[in-house]
């Protein structure tokens, strides 16, 4: 079995690795470190939780130990899709480079530009950044990328999902053609394949697992769920989530709960807290300081449940996550691989459970097609205590309360009367009955023209206030 001491790493780097408690490299580290140290381009494909970060940080520190940084011209560049992953990569550099005099800067959103400018002005060996913030500094004239010797793209497929590929292509064009590129991804979509063919030069391909596979040490399952009524589905789904957590008992020491939408992240976190569960949300709309506090609490064990959007699906390295609950079936099948990769890390066992409603069954089929196996169906823990569906009559009353048109309610009565009455004979002319002598109608305010023809005969259907110019047509007809 290969050990880190056999990989030609800098002795000071080896010392830091040993102090961190590692002796044996993971397959992706064993495959990627030797060619990286030789200066070759590397294309690494491995599922999350396999140690990809160390597979590029260790050779980078070894190669950068010789040389000196210049102001505004970083010697290496690491691109990450999210702030959390960028911060985590920075922590890895601090861990493994503590015996080597290297400087670094972290360029992420939510942090003051001024502090980041000061670090860049001094000159940094390692620049770790998200694409957007990096380009912001470049466009402000605070950064030059012509001195980059090593460029790393981490979680490239997540970059694709987040729409960063145009930014990545632009950043590639700003770096020297002679740079060394280390490119890592969990899956290889066609667009990712195109970029590697364009910007990597004869890369050494390291694929330690089948593309888009899930760890064998992760127990998976899905509960097929249908709400009793559409307006109750969301609350019953949250009740099911609590029952699933309770059903795991002491085995569920902590968990990440993934939702597809940021609004649902807030709602689920608030609901769990209401029922006594120690939970907090994390998503892209929160302040960076709040996101950092929440993640720190989850890492140190003071927070048990982290309710997250896919912003936390990548790069969140908490080795002891016991469970992942997918409150929603992810819309992209690849996201399922990354979500459940948050558990079962560093060789530990993990559990991943999912709730699937009828409208998500197509997405579930896509996931099973991607991972090339069927996800076991789990019994609904609420099956015996589920609220019974409402009777049909009550369900009808609960429909949207729109008043029915008047014509609807009158039609049945009119139809019944019409069925009993004989059909009326067709009329060819308007009948004008003779007035009754005993009850002549007085003129209305002295104006005979307001009530009908001048001779006082009312016209059927025209009411008491018939304008005189209409009455004339009836008088002419009678005279004819």
Q: What is the pLDDT along the chain (480 residues), one digit of tens a residue?
A: 689 999 999 999 999 999 988 889 989 999 999 999 999 999 998 876 678 899 999 999 999 988 888 888 999 999 999 888 898 899 999 999 999 999 999 999 888 899 999 999 999 999 999 999 999 999 999 999 999 999 999 988 888 878 899 999 999 999 999 999 999 987 788 888 999 999 999 999 998 865 556 767 899 999 999 999 999 999 999 999 999 999 999 999 999 999 999 899 999 999 999 999 999 999 878 887 888 899 889 989 999 999 998 876 566 777 789 999 999 999 888 889 888 888 887 678 899 999 999 999 999 999 999 888 999 999 999 875 444 443 333 333 334 444 545 544 444 444 444 444 444 444 444 444 554 444 444 444 444 444 444 455 555 555 556 666 666 655 555 555
Residues 255, 301 contacting (CB under 8 angstroms): no
Quick one: pLDDT at residue 391? Answer: 37
Angle in degrees, CA 265, 317, 322, rounded to 5: 70
* Residue 297 vs residues 141, 257, 272, 278, 279: alpha-carbon distances, Å: 37, 15, 17, 11, 10
Three-state SS at 187: coil
Residues 107, 135 contacting (CB under 8 angstroms): no
- CA atoms of 145 and 170, how far apart (whole Å): 11
| Phi, psi of 153, deg, nearest 5 | -115, 115
Rg of the chain over all Cα atoms, to the nearest angstrom:
37
Quick one: pLDDT at residue 203? Answer: 95
Quick one: pLDDT at residue 303? Answer: 94
* Residue 75 vs residues 57, 121, 325: alpha-carbon distances, Å: 14, 13, 41
Residue corresponding to tokens 């560049």:
77
Quick one: pLDDT at residue 273? Answer: 96
CATH superfamily of domain region 4-207: P-loop containing nucleotide triphosphate hydrolases (3.40.50.300)
Quick one: pLDDT at residue 197? Answer: 93
Q: Which residues pair with 350 in a beta bridge?
A: 218
Task: Give 351's contacts (C-beta < 8 A, 6+ positions apart).
Answer: 218, 219, 220, 221, 248, 251, 252, 322, 323, 324, 343
- CA atoms of 453 and 478, how far apart (whole Å): 11
pTM to 2 decimals? Answer: 0.65
- What is the fold of 218-384? Rossmann fold (3.40.50)
Quick one: pLDDT at residue 226? Answer: 93
Residues 32, 182 contacting (CB under 8 angstroms): yes
Give per-residue pLDDT as tens, 48-107. Answer: 667 889 999 999 999 998 888 888 899 999 999 988 889 889 999 999 999 999 999 999
- CA atoms of 261 and 357, how far apart (whole Å): 16
141: left (phi over 0), alpha (psi -120 to 50) or beta: left
What stretch(es) of the chain map to CATH 3.40.50.300?
4-207, 218-384
Quick one: pLDDT at residue 469? Answer: 65
């Amino acid at each position: 079995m290969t050990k880190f001491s056999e990989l030609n790493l800098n002795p000071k780097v080896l010392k830091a690795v040993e102090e961190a408690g590692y002796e044996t490299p993971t397959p992706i580290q064993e495959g990627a470190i030797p060619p990286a140290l030789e200066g070759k381009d590397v294309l690494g494909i491995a599922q999350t939780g396999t140690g990809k970060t160390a597979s590029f940080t260790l050779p980078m520190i070894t190669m950068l130990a010789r040389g000196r940084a210049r102001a505004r011209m970083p010697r290496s560049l690491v691109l990450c899709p999210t702030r959390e992953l960028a911060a985590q990569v920075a922590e890895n550099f601090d861990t493994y480079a503590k015996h080597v005099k290297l400087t670094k800067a972290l360029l992420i959103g939510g942090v003051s530009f001024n502090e980041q400018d000061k670090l860049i002005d001094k000159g940094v060996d390692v620049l770790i950044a998200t694409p957007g913030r990096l380009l912001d500094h470049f466009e402000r004239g605070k950064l030059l990328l012509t001195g980059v010797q090593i460029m790393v793209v981490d979680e490239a497929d997540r970059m694709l999902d987040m729409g960063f590929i145009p930014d990545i292509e632009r950043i590639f064009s700003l770096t020297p053609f002679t740079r060394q590129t280390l490119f890592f991804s969990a899956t290889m979509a066609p667009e990712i394949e195109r970029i590697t063919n364009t910007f990597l030069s004869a890369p050494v391909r390291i694929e330690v697992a089948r593309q888009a596979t899930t760890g064998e040490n992760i127990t998976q399952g899905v509960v097929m769920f249908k709400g009793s009524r559409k307006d109750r589905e969301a609350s019953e789904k949250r009740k099911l989530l609590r029952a699933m957590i309770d059903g795991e008992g002491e085995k569920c020491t902590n968990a990440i709960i993934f939702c597809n939408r940021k609004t649902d992240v807030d709602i689920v976190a608030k609901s769990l807290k209401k029922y006594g569960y120690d939970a907090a949300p994390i998503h892209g709309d929160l302040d960076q300081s709040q996101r950092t506090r929440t993640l720190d609490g989850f890492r140190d064990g003071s927070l048990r449940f982290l309710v997250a959007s896919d912003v936390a699906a990548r790069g969140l390295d908490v080795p002891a996550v016991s469970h992942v609950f997918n409150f929603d079936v992810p819309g992209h099948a690849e996201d399922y691989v990354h979500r459940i990769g948050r558990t079962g890390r560093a060789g530990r066992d993990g559990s991943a459970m999912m709730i699937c409603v009828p409208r998500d069954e197509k997405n579930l089929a896509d996931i099973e097609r991607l991972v090339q196996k069927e996800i076991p169906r789990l019994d609904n823990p609420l099956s015996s205590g589920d609220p019974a569906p409402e009777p049909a009559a009550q369900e009808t009353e609960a429909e949207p309360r729109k008043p029915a048109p008047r014509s609807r309610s009158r039609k049945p009565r009119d139809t019944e009367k019409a069925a009993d009455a004989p059909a009326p004979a067709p009329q060819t002319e308007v009948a004008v009955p003779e007035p009754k002598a005993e009850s002549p109608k007085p003129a209305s305010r002295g104006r005979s023209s307001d009530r009908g023809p001048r001779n006082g005969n009312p016209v059927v259907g025209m009411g008491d206030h018939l304008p005189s110019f209409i009455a004339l047509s009836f008088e002419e007809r009678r005279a004819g």
